Homo-oligomer: A and B are copies of this chain.
Amino acid sequence: MAMRPIKHIDVVKGMKVSELVEQMKEAGFGARKIGEAGEILREMIKDKDCKKFFGVAGAMVPGGMRNIIIEMLKNNYVDVFVTTGANLTHDLIEALGEKHYQGTENIDDRELNEQGIDRIYNVFMKNRVYEKLEDFFEKNWLEISKTSNIKEFLWKLGSLVREDSILGICCKKKIPLFCPAIADSGIGLMVWGRKVQGKQINIDAFEDMKEIVDIAWTAKKRGVVYIGGGVPKNFIQQSLQFSKGADYGIQITTDRAESGGSSGAPLREGISWGKMKKEGKYVNVFCDAVIALPLIYAFVK
């Protein structure tokens, strides 16, 4: 067996991120995984036959990944975007001019509650952002309420905000944007708020499936990027199940495989289901996504 030696990482003053990731490719453990993810993402992006599915769970907007995600959407890294209602709510909050804040996990949550601050690990958010959301939905309800499936509903939100938001750029570029559990989010709460006032809206829970399955089945090739598992990963995985499977795969998560949940399942498991191709290229990156994603993206950019 001809084997390539581990090359020890040399940190050079002023070195570029891309140079570091280039070196990580020849190191061990998680560093190599970062490098492999960079390579696979680069290849996936270049492959004109490949439809690229991005599934983004976890609090990526509060974590500071919003600009990277927006850029990836803008620069054609993404053909189908699936995320959580939470990420879209946080995106909308920022689109409406509110912020998330640098907080700490070493704090008394009772005090935060009294100050009207919601905590997301070491990120804070002012509870009054919900008022901004209320105003936005109140003001735009007529338009919003005309939509009939989740993608259209979200594109409509995107049309009402600045383009440099996740919602905005998906709308502008007509990137299919799916969020099966949209009811499970601040945006969901806003819709609920209107509905209890007797206002009407009818968004079909299943309608979006046709489009994602169509894309998955008709693409020449498929690439997947999963950040954090959850519904975004699973919804893409199931659209691939009866396709020819993914040709490329990147998964970034800190969840465990042993307890059997989909979020922690390594991509290899998907081969049994037909979600990943037998000869597909894939890598599982065990790392906090707010560390791994900037590295991988900087390598490819």
Known: A188-B238, A230-B230, A292-B291. A9 touches B65 (CB 8 A): yes
CA distance A192 to B216 in the complex (A): 14
Is A140's beta carbon under 8 Å from chain B?
A: no
- Are B183 and A205 interface neighbours, CB within 8 A? yes
Q: Which residues of B contact A18 (CB under 8 A)?
A: 14
Contacting residue for A58 out of B33, B99, B181, B261, CB 8 A: B261
User: Does A258 sit at the interface, judged by CB under 8 A?
Assistant: yes
The count of identical subunits is: 4
Our pick among B34, B86, B127, B286 for the contact of A262 (Cβ within 8 Å) is: B86
Q: Does A256 contact B (CB under 8 A)?
A: yes
A100 engages B28 (CB within 8 Å):
yes
- Please state if B290 and A259 are interface contacts (CB–CB under 8 Å): yes
Q: Does A27 have its Cβ within 8 Å of any Cβ on chain B?
A: yes
Which stretch of A43-51, A108-116, A168-176 is in the interface? A108-116
State which of A155-163, A218-226, A271-279 sits at the interface with chain B.
A271-279
Q: CA of A17 to CA of B9 in the docked complex: distance in angstroms?
A: 13
Question: In the complex, how many angstroms separate the beta carbon of A71 from the nearest chain B beta carbon?
Answer: 7
Smallest distance from the beta carbon of A22 to chain B beta carbons, Å?
12
**Contact pick for A265, options B121, B186, B291, CB 8 Å:** B121
Among A4, A27, A191, max chain B CB count under 10 A is at: A27
Per CB-CB distance, the 10 closest pairs between chain A and chain B, nearest first, are A27-B64, A30-B288, A109-B271, A181-B181, A3-B101, A112-B272, A8-B67, A28-B63, A29-B260, A258-B286
